[in-house]
A and B are shown apart, each in its own frame.
Chain A
Amino acid sequence: MRYLPLTDTDREDMLARIGVADVDALFSDVPADKLLTAPVDLPRAKGELEVERIMAKMAARNVAASSVPFFVGAGAYKHHVPATVDHLIQRSEFLTSYTPYQPEIAQGTLQYLFEFQTQVAALTGMDVANASMYDGSTGTGEAVLMAHRVTRRKKAVLSGGLHPHYADVVRTLSEMASDTVVSLPPDVTAGEDILARIDDETSCVVVQNPDVFGNLRDLRPIAAKAHAHGALLIAVFTEVVSLGAIEPPGAQDADIVVGEGQSIGNALNFGGPYVGLFAAKSKYIRQMPGRLCGETVDAAGQRGFVLTLSTREQHIRRDKATSNICTNSGLCCLAFTIHMTLLGQAGLERLAQVNHANAVALADALAGVKGVTVLNDSFFNEFTVKLPRPAAEIVEALAERGILAGVPVSRLLPSAGLDDLLLVASTEVNTNEDRAAFLAALAEVL
């Protein structure tokens, strides 16, 4: 077996040195009737070529985003990732290292985490950011728990523009902890009166911007009302590229900002691994979940970085920890920070501009199709269209024609009576030809 260095002779010598007759003597604490004698019923070892063939065969059954005109979003976005990013994250010293618990031999990881935290803080307009969460949805759940700790209240108000899966994650976690969740109904055109739902028992208001239907929202009045009642505003985003074009939540007085960072540096991966971004006002740092990297000096006075404020975390605080999170998204966070470093402010603004331009072009074109209505006043790179028939049927018919057209709202909200709505995203990867193919195919199926 190519991965196992010991030879049979080695094994015999080692058993002799230990002083046991065979390896099963080392398993003597396993009840005798529970120790397996034969290998389990699975195929035997295979060579690299054979394994590669099996995996390639399965991979070939899926339609890859780059192989077709692709307009699917709703929380994960197809972007171009520079070749440099994937090369660098595969360097052994990044790929095969562990959580930097020994800082003297992990400065590579620690310095990029410090740079990542700084980038996320700047992007969101917040004071501090942590070293990442699993993804945007789990981060949102953690943000709600954090708000409960800060306010010592137990009621979260969720906007109807919050991604339904994110809302589900919050509700599941809250139900388990016996906390209260007030969920507003799906808010397709950003018309909800969320201010009326904020009261003195409210711990936090959770608002997504751009929202799941693509609308851009003004967070300032919500922040003001929340603060007047002693509650926090949690601002959520699922498309981080939008922060290259729109007002950051920090500038709108959000208290906690959480979002999905997949768009920068990370592939679609059928939903994971992704990277959750998490930022807050500095007065709340001791209530933040997840790892934090901080600057310090070594014994010779040189600048260095360490994981810090660890007493918030599970390995020290146990049942009083701010979260149970341990492993985060290290390598995805590295991919994010490398891509963001390559972009810089100039590159990110340009990328955001191209995304917006492509989405505007697509919205304008779709608005010209008979029977199709674009519902958004404002949007960034994703918007909602109303179709004359159930969107799921149309998406399926377009898929048969080699166009991946978007996400039917019914897939996210199966019983909301919004079956004729389709979420459509367009990023820098879409060409004029992609758009033309989409429109032509749509004309056929409508």
Chain B
Amino acid sequence: MSETRYTKDHEYIRVEGDTGTVGITDFAQGQLGDVVFVELPSLGKTVAKGGEAAVVESVKAASEVYAPVSGEVVEVNSALEAAPGTVNEDPSGKGWFLKLKLTDVAELEGLMGEAEYQNYLKTL
């Protein structure tokens, strides 16, 4: 049973139990262009909601990936270091960045659901 929520900065978090998988949306990877480098946090790092969790770089741009909710980093997708293009090819699947153990599940409430995010994209 999983549920995906979105931020206005185009991160997603797919929640299963008390763990969430964080990545950037298809829209975000399209805007960024070819991803050439991903900087991932160290395991065990705690991040606050809205804090910098990772960095994603294309040839001409660098963006912070913010934590959609607070939590502790319990897993990172180290495969991205050798194959950053995975973020472009499969952002919501193999292109995930990190997994967070959620501090406060209630924080998810402030994020957008699928339909809401799709509507948000139409306003941009």
Contact = CB atoms under 8 A, between A and B. Distances in A.
Interface in A305-347: 310-311, 316-317, 320
A320 B39 CA distance: 14
B48 interface: no
Contacts of A317: 62
A14 to B, nearest CB: 36
A317 B59 CA distance: 12
A286 interface: yes
Contacts of B60: 310-311, 316
B37 A286 contact: yes
A286 B57 CA distance: 12
A317 B57 CA distance: 10
Contacts of A310: 59-60
B43 interface: no
Contacts of A320: 62
Contacts of B37: 286, 311
Interface in B21-63: 36-37, 57-62
Nearest to A306: B59
A228 to B, nearest CB: 22
A311 B63 CA distance: 10
Nearest to B61: A316
Contacts of B57: 311
Interface size class of B (residues with CB under 8 A): under 10
B39 to A, nearest CB: 8
B104 to A, nearest CB: 28
A217 B35 CA distance: 44
A10 to B, nearest CB: 39
A316 B58 CA distance: 11
Interface in A280-297: 286
A293 B57 CA distance: 18
Determine the main DSSP class of B at the interface with A.
strand
Interface string A368-383: 0000000000000000
Contacts of A311: 36-37, 57-62
A362 to B, nearest CB: 52
Interface size class of A (residues with CB under 8 A): under 10
B25 to A, nearest CB: 21
Nearest to B62: A311
Nearest to A315: B60
Contacts of B61: 311, 316
Interface string B92-104: 0000000000000
Contacts of B36: 311
A57 B57 CA distance: 54
Interface in B57-72: 57-62
B31 to A, nearest CB: 15
A374 to B, nearest CB: 52
Contacts of A316: 60-62
A231 to B, nearest CB: 20
A316 B56 CA distance: 13
Nearest to A317: B62
B24 to A, nearest CB: 16
Nearest to B59: A310
B44 to A, nearest CB: 16
Contacts of A286: 37
A310 B36 CA distance: 11
Nearest to A320: B62
A389 to B, nearest CB: 59
A317 B62 CA distance: 7
A292 to B, nearest CB: 13
A316 B57 CA distance: 10
Contacts of B58: 311
A311 B58 CA distance: 8
A310 B59 CA distance: 7
B85 to A, nearest CB: 15
A56 B57 CA distance: 52
A310 B62 CA distance: 9
- Report which residue of B36, B57, B60 has the largest number of chain A beta carbons within 10 angstroms of its beta carbon: B57
A316 B37 CA distance: 14
A320 B62 CA distance: 10
- Report which residue of B37, B60, B61, B62 has the largest number of chain A beta carbons within 10 angstroms of its beta carbon: B62
B53 to A, nearest CB: 15
Contacts of B62: 311, 316-317, 320
A380 to B, nearest CB: 40
Interface in B72-96: none
A104 to B, nearest CB: 15
A316 to B, nearest CB: 6
16 contacts: A286-B37, A310-B59, A310-B60, A311-B36, A311-B37, A311-B57, A311-B58, A311-B59, A311-B60, A311-B61, A311-B62, A316-B60, A316-B61, A316-B62, A317-B62, A320-B62
Closest 4 CB pairs of A and B: A311-B62, A311-B57, A317-B62, A316-B62
Given A286-B37, A311-B58, A311-B60, 7 more contacts: A310-B60, A311-B37, A311-B57, A311-B59, A311-B62, A316-B61, A317-B62
Interface of B: 36-37, 57-62
